[in-house]
Structure 1
């Protein structure tokens, strides 16, 4: 990401942002459910379901084709193809059925046209890996709006799917999304799907994303950096390719820094859930004494290397302009990394963290503790 162009922020200039359109939401959904060579699945059922959902969204049906096995009976590879793969039999008897002792011509519901669209799975190190994916069809595809979306997303249109995906990123549940759709189409009857459809689709999104959420996070923010003027994003991964550090700032946050960036608070105390990563925002105060955000970062380890990386990227995002003061807690990693990056900014400790340590340092059980605390507050 070092080669990414950084858009300078001018004081007082308006930095427009790209609106989220129906086409954009649909594209995001298609990106999530499109297979690619190297994609991994935990088991065969997950892989088949993923490809079926992709097929339903694109507009074709899936047919299981060849399965190769090792001598011990375990699956070696499996091929999934479009249901219009191959060619229809031309023999006269294959097109006839016998009714009351008489042969009648049977109407073929499906005409195979030799479509080459397919996905092949190969077992490697206990995982099913996509080693071949052909997306081109030689026949007309049926739009998802013109077909029953079956099982996982029966009547949910691609626009509604996009809303569910987008709202999932904003931590908005399927119930609120369902109500939003009602407002957009002027009534629940016009949605074409039930609340349970929305909930089931949200559940299946989580199942399909599984361990690919890190890559989805990176792809999403890369897209924002490419499409939104003034959006900054950078990230870092470890030797295993796992996301370890990321930082981002949109145009509004960067403009806020130009106006209110004299004093900045950096707080690395917000731990996230199952990822064991720490959310570390850069914040300040505007003229109305309201909190404003300048930049956000997530890190996997609270050490000198991680904090130095975040501070370096923060200055890049803000055009190299240092604040006058940065207020942090007394984390040893911050104390060691701060002078390596900032040359003119003054480092100060947060009063809240200091006061939290007063009972421990002074001793809250001492007889004169309350009197000491009153005197200390008066001095502060």
Structure 2
């Protein structure tokens, strides 16, 4: 015995009426050429006053009641092709099955069939997430097909076909915006991925792909779909991006001679990584006299000798990074230049034994204008310009002795009433870490 699962039969069949066909000039989407065609839809009123629409398509595409269309997949393919040329979308609906799970009857409906769900939600009275409303409104459309199973051949015949719609169909020029046609194909997805690898955003990728295909109408998806797919791709990668990075680095270390890679985990999470390739090692061999540690990603133009990523800028993280540096190169530089990071200073002192630590003049001098304004809010432009000129001639001078620098600094602070300013006093206290006069005995000190 076969067990049947009942399906609710559609009610209120559309009344059979004669429709008038209106002619107009329509642009062929496939060729872009103005082609004389009749309208894609015919309509008329029923005796009750309701409007019904019937699509106009080639007779070869019309579903034929009583015809065997093969497997259920082939039946769906046939109706989708008809729906595409008729300018509407379809969806699967209810079905009857045998007790063994075989489908014996299947419905496919217009996607605007059914009744709209009324969503009444008070966000002030409930903490539940509101249901997002669809932009496709259900109108109770009765357009559908029904397929019945033929047991002997395990195929399906069309037993019912309703072509009338109670809503307007898509204009032919907007057919590419239907839900079915907006489903991005593998080619579009792959293009978005390769564009992101090349630092091209989804919006620009959509423009380029549309130009390649000749028109936006030939692209499956809109610019919003491209953005959403890029977002979903990032979310998918996000959960395993750390493992992917470690695996890629390990593989390169295995097969590329001279490549060094270190990483640190904390509670099974990637905390820090360090790497240097054979080119970086050659650079260090030739340019290891003075090394700059740039914690803000190449704000200075220099030859790169190594790179690292750390989760935080603590002394512990910097110590691990510099330890990896020494493990890789095995030789301390003559001088290390950094910004005024206290954590970095602690790490340098802990790892390096002979290298001299110097602060970057560029970072310090960038702060001077704001510090002058804080110390002397009413300073005139000409006076400020004079101060900057004298300061630059003093701090950048690598031909004077430390005692000469100290005398001139004292006079400069006195002339501009800055002797009691906390920032300038601090910079004088640490003068041996950034003024060239205190690095005269270091080879090539003038480079920085």
Report the TM range for the smaller structure's normalisation.
Answer: 0.3 to 0.5
TM-score, normalisation: structure 2: 0.41
Greater relative contact order (CA < 8 Å, ≥ 6 in sequence): 1
Larger of the two Rg values belongs to structure: 2
